[in-house]
Amino acid sequence: PSGPALRFPVAVVDGILKDVLESHLREQNYEPARCRDMAKDIAEVIKARVKDLMIPRYKLVVVAHIGQLNEQSMQIGSRCLWDSVSDTFSSYVFKNTSLFALANVYAVYFE
């Protein structure tokens, strides 16, 4: 196995996450039903923008969470079985006065 000819551009994807979360959520207030729908929409927008980078042989998993920011704490964990040499991820956290959002992109390389 030689690994990817073109590495997954983590820094570029980090920028996409930041741009999408900030542009969609900057002025939003937390409303449960609306935020549930927005989390789905944001994940789809992120997936489309990362796919537009045309990085060969990477499968993408995009997960977005949105929650109320209300003096509570929350821990979100994830576990993946992958090859630490060729697989990677990008992650970004956004907060405003009403809500927080976390978006993760997992990039898994296929031979």
DSSP of 47-66, one letter per residue? HHHHHTT--TTEEEEEEEEE
104 lies in some domain: yes
Give the CATH number of the domain where residue 64 resides: 3.30.1140.40
Question: Domain limits at 67?
Answer: 10-109
92 lies in some domain: yes
pLDDT of residue 77: 83
98 lies in some domain: yes
Tokens standing for residue 35: 């935020």
pLDDT of residue 4: 76
50 lies in some domain: yes
β 88-95/99-109 pair status: antiparallel
Residue 50 burial by CB count (10 A; 0-12/13-18/19+): exposed, middle or buried?
buried
pLDDT of residue 88: 94
30 lies in some domain: yes
pLDDT tens digit sequence for 1-50: 567 777 899 999 999 999 999 999 999 999 999 999 999 999 999 999 99
Write the CB contacts of 102 (distance below 8 Å, at least 6 apart in sequence): 64, 65, 76, 91, 92, 93, 94
Hey, is 36 helix, strand or coil? helix
For the entire predicted model, the pTM comes to 0.90
Tally of domains in the chain: 1
pLDDT of residue 33: 95
d(CA 21, CA 76): 17
Q: What is the DSSP letter of 85?
A: T
77 lies in some domain: yes
